[in-house]
Copies of this chain bind each other. A is one copy, B any other.
Amino acid sequence: MPTIALRNDSLLRALRREPVDRTPIWLMRQAGRYLPEYRATRARAGSFLAMAKTPELACEATLQPLARFDLDAAILFSDILTVPDAMGLGLYFVEGEGPKFKYPIRSAADVDKLAVPDMGRELRYVMDAVALIRRELDGRVPLIGFSGSPWTLACYMIEGGGSDNFSIIKSMMLNEPALLHRLLAVVTDAVIAYLSAQRDAGAQLLQVFDTWGGVLAPHHYREFSLPYLARIARGLRGSELGTRDSESAAGDHFAISGDGPSSIPLILFGKGNAPYLEELAATGADAIGVDWLVSLEEARRRTDGKVALQGNLDPAVLYGSPAAITREVQRTLASYANGGDGTRTGLIFNLGHGLSPDMDPEHVRALVDAVHATAST
């Protein structure tokens, strides 16, 4: 791993809740279709999946937003469904319909066949991309690695794609809860192995996206999403560099031994996670990423300095004018400050969800600049 000093460490400092000169900002889906240069790379690649699976192209896409905007982190360009794809489910994309799996998981026999993929083989392309991006970044800003959460991956794996009502996974949850737990356990092992491998390849912090935890009733969230997020937080702290292989990781066992030397910060982002902030802050994660349906003032008060917070501008604010964007940014920053000691220590600015293809890059610039222009104390 390169030992080049990080020239902009504001994100890592915010994660440790240390004072920063300016509030760090990165944006979910900052590498994406709203950028013409991204669309050009994708056209050259032929498809989204070819782009994600070719380290040089993934690196190119990752770096594009950094060339345009004064962002404080890069995030690996990839898809949240690489892990189930590597488990043999056959990921493909239908234009305008989102991701699909050729072989969705529907039965006990399907679940029994699942195993943690070999990170050096089936997911080698991701690790190669991480290593290449880290090299190309050359210490400019930190690199974020990521994964989908176990519940969110299970949604796609069982539904076979996106869903409006999650009828298939919820039916399994109600009728065969033990089977769903078995699936979630192996997916959790795979996520831990995947994030550990990204860290080993050069990622400097990690984010888990629990995109669909918010569709669950509280008692179901606490049974089928939250415990697996907590396992990831513990598993990443406990795991040793390179000791995990598909054999040992397939079981439901975690060697938890406190902060290992290889531990890097973990952000747990979840749409609709506002009701669970106290519980998420107790998982051992370093930061909680929240959507825009809760004020940062409330989120900070409820997490009480135990974690850093990431968020949480409504992405639709980018459809407003630059003046409106600046106003909403200032309001968001003030909200965070009001929830604590009046400073912005421990805040990572982000949207409450990802950027959309129809957003104007100049509005993204207005957003980034507004965050940096506002004095941080």
Bound-state Cα–Cα, A298 to B294, Å: 17
Q: For the complex, give the distance between the alpha carbons of A275 and B292 in Å.
A: 12
CB-CB under 8 A from A262, the residues of chain B are none
Interfacial residues of chain A within 291-315, with CB under 8 A of chain B in the complex: 292-295, 298, 314-315
- A274 located at the interface, meaning its Cβ lies under 8 Å from any Cβ of chain B in the complex: yes
Question: Known contacts A274-B275, A294-B275: does B175 contact A320 (CB below 8 Å)?
Answer: yes
In the complex, are the beta carbons of B319 and A171 less than 8 A apart?
yes
Nearest CB on B from A178, distance (A): 13
Residue in B168, B314, B324 whose beta carbon sits within 8 Å of that of A217 in the complex:
B314
A216 to B317, CA, bound (A): 11
A275: chain B residues within 8 A (beta carbon): 274, 293-294
Find residues 130-150 in chain A having any chain B CB closer than 8 Å to their own CB: none
Residue in contact with A316 in the complex, picked from B170, B320, B321, CB distance below 8 Å: B170
* Beta-carbon contact of A174 and B317 below 8 Å: yes
Contact of A170 among B293, B314, B352, B358 (CB under 8 A): B314
With A293-B218, A295-B219 as contacts: A316 and B167 at CB distance below 8 Å = yes
Q: Is A166 an interface residue (CB 8 A)?
A: yes
**B170 touching A320, Cβ below 8 Å:** yes
A170 touches B274 (CB 8 A): no
Query: Which of A166, A170, A319, A321 has the most C-beta atoms of chain B within 10 angstroms of its own C-beta?
Result: A319
Closest approach, in angstroms, between the C-beta of A335 and any C-beta of chain B?
8
| Alpha-carbon distance between A275 and B273 when the two chains are bound, in angstroms | 12
Q: A293-B275, A356-B165, A358-B167 are in contact. Are A174 and B218 (CB under 8 A)?
A: no
A317 contacts B175, C-beta separation under 8 Å: no
Say yes or no for A328: interface residue by CB 8 A criterion.
Answer: yes
- Cβ contacts under 8 Å, A165 to chain B: 315-316, 356
Q: How far is the CA of A61 from the CA of B320 in the complex (A)?
A: 43
Cβ of A272 within 8 Å of any chain B Cβ, yes or no, is yes
In the complex, 20 of the A-B residue pairs with CB atoms within 8 angstroms, ordered by the A residue number, are A167-B319, A170-B314, A170-B316, A170-B319, A171-B316, A171-B320, A174-B317, A174-B320, A174-B321, A214-B293, A216-B293, A217-B292, A217-B314, A217-B352, A218-B293, A219-B295, A219-B331, A272-B293, A274-B275, A275-B293
State the A residues within 8 Å of B (CB).
165-168, 170-171, 174-175, 214, 216-220, 272, 274-275, 292-295, 298, 314-317, 319-321, 324, 328, 331, 352, 356, 358
